[in-house]
Amino acid sequence: MSDSIYNFTSQTLTGKPLNLADYKDKVLLIVNTASKCGFTGQYEGLQELHEGFEGQGLAVIGFPCNQFGAQEPGSSQDIESFCELNYGVSFPISEKVDVNGAGAHPLFKYLTTEAKGILGSESIKWNFTKFLVRKNGEVYKRYAPTTKPADLVADIEKLLAE
């Protein structure tokens, strides 16, 4: 079987399996997140996308990462509490992962190969890099950390209509 977004797994912050195969036929928004980043306020926008489009087939999944300025130093419990208390996050959040380097989670190795960044770069430059995935599992587009979640609405609506 060739590489597919649906082959990847992780665990949630509470230790439950997080299998991307469970999201077949959904549009996926995969984001590397952090609790102490200048972009952390984007959790609010991600939650709004989750609430606004979940019923239409969008799944938002966060992947906390501590590789950029040590901006996600906490434990799984710390991250979960922070996201719930400060932003009311109810979409799935993975255990902390690396997104770059030899220890990068295989999902992020796949995503960065499928959707390269500026000047063909594969590495992720900072927290809140976003990847939008079509219902068929094809990686549609990569978005910079500075791209606000609300700026993805048109692309999400387009993919949901496919």
Write out pLDDT tens, residues 124-162: 999 999 999 999 999 999 999 999 999 999 999 999 999
User: Can you list the alpha helix ranges (DSSP code H) found in 21-152?
Assistant: 42-53, 76-87, 106-114
What confidence score (pLDDT) does residue 24 get? 94
Lowest mean pLDDT across 10-19, 104-113, 114-123: 114-123
152: which 2 tokens? 């993805």
What confidence category does residue 3 fall into, taking pLDDT thresholds of 50, 70 and 90? Answer: low
* CATH number of the CATH domain containing 93: 3.40.30.10
Please compute the mean of the pLDDT values over residues 82-101 and round it to a whole number: 94
Q: What is the C-alpha to C-alpha distance for residues 59 and 115, in angstroms, rounded to an integer?
A: 19
The answer to whether residue 45 sits within a structural domain is yes
Q: Is residue 88 part of a domain?
A: yes
Domain that holds residue 60: 33-161
Reply yes or no on whether the pLDDT at 1 is more than 70: no
Query: For the chain, how many structural domains are there in total?
Result: 1
Q: Is residue 77 part of a domain?
A: yes
- Residue predicted with more confidence, 12 or 121: 12
Residue 142's pLDDT is what?
96
- Looking at the chain, the whole-number percentage of residues with pLDDT higher than 70 is 98
Instruction: Return the biggest CA–CA distance within the chain.
Output: 41
The half-sphere exposure of 23 on its side-chain side, counting CA atoms within 13 A, is 30
Active-site residue, 37 included:
yes
pLDDT of residue 160: 98
In a domain, 22, yes or no: no
Q: What's the rounded Cα separation, in Å, for the pair 109 and 94? A: 16
Q: Is residue 2 part of a domain?
A: no
Q: Which of 20, 29, 34, 37 is catalytic?
A: 37
For residue 105, tell me if it sits in a domain.
yes
Mean residue pLDDT of the chain comes to 94
